[in-house]
Amino acid sequence: MLSSSSTRVLGPPAKCPHSLLPATCKLPLRRLQPPAAVGFSSKAAAQKRKRQQQRQRKRQGKADDDEDDAELTELSKAQHVITVPDFSPVSQQLRDVFDERFQDPRHTTQERFLWDYWYVKDQYTLHRTQASAYFPEQLHSQLVDALLEYGEKQLGCRAISPVWMSYYIDGCGQDLHCDSFHGPFAYVLSLTPWEGRVFTGGETQILQPQLLGSFWQSFSPGKGLELTDLVTLVEPRFNQLTVFDPRFPHGVRPVAGTRDPQKGRLVLHGWFTEPSPFFDGPLPEEEALQHLNAALFPMFDQLQALPQVTGTISMQLRVSGETGTVTDVTFLADTLVALPAAAADLGLGSGLLDSGTIRGAVQHVIRDSLMAAEFPESEEGDTVITLPLVFE
């Protein structure tokens, strides 16, 4: 049985540059705090001495070089945009309701008056409504259930914001903006019959990662850049769920070519919120949380010695019922971005570290710490834990 915890996992000490901040939650939370006598400073010093010893060994042969390189290799690639085709059968039912209510423009019903024309000069132009007010209750519940199931299993988020529905006709669009305060992941579920469209534009556009923080490192004065070199364009194909990092500037390309709502861009959109551990299996939730938190102490200690990252990373742990050990750690969603750091921070000499090296070091610490976790045995079988970590 899949359950979500209202208890947050342990937070790092105040001196650690990696602050794990859970999203605002409407439910009461019980926060677990690390004891005062953890001894982070002494352990960090031990880590420093270990790195110094590693540097000495590096001079003795290439084998140590290869080992160090392997330790910093990324275990998962950053995914700032995820697309899920054929998301849910409910999409066609939702589209049918929309088409039925717009089929006869001379037939007046109360649902025709639920739309808000949202216009903000030089920023937003679109027609929107709340999905909960527009669709029959049972159909809306099926939509929410499908989104929640995806958020729980793939992102480690236990809630979503209220679902918006918007249509875009001639002149509608969104200029670049950021809205990460709503949640760690934004989504767009398209109800647009994209293949038969009669308009231009309508793609979700998301600024590419290399333009944020490292543009000049990869800039070539002899090479020109065009739109697709600067932004990722995501076509809103029917029944496709697009999940993306809302910290990245994003928008919607202006729609042109139709004034008919039935022939325009139609999407459902919102945010996945409240990242929290999920447990699927026989282990009692409270007991599993205690053992999980115990495993995070050494992880926070090691992260303290690494350059800072920001973003969200979600993992799935499989706990053996027979032995109580973690047999596998799988990375699910990963939007970690490394902040600029000197190689000396990792004991690797001079110069700036690339993002992949920093991300790899952080991922290895997380993976190794979780693999070392120990849980109670259970004769009823394995337990699967979905664990999101939000770095701010």
DSSP category for residue 71 = H
DSSP category for residue 223 = S
SS3 state at 372: coil
To the question of domain 81-215+225-275 being in CATH 2.40.10.10, the answer is no
**Is the overall model pTM greater than 0.85, yes or no?**
no
Residue-wise pLDDT tens digits, 225-282: 888 889 999 999 999 999 999 999 999 999 999 999 999 999 999 999 999 999 999 9
Please give the pLDDT value at position 32.
28
Residue-wise pLDDT tens digits, 139-183: 999 999 999 999 999 999 999 999 999 999 999 999 999 999 999
Please give the pLDDT value at position 20.
43
User: What does the domain layout of the chain look like in residue ranges?
Assistant: 2-35+50-73+276-391, 81-215+225-275
Which residue stretches of the chain have pLDDT < 50?
1-53, 62-67, 69
Cα–Cα distance measured from residue 332 to residue 388, given in angstroms and rounded to the nearest whole number: 9
Please give the pLDDT value at position 281.
95
* Non-local CB neighbours of 35 within 8 Å, separated by 6+ positions: none
Burial class (CB in 10 A: 0-12, 13-18, 19+), 86: exposed
Cα–Cα distance measured from residue 319 to residue 327, given in angstroms and rounded to the nearest whole number: 6
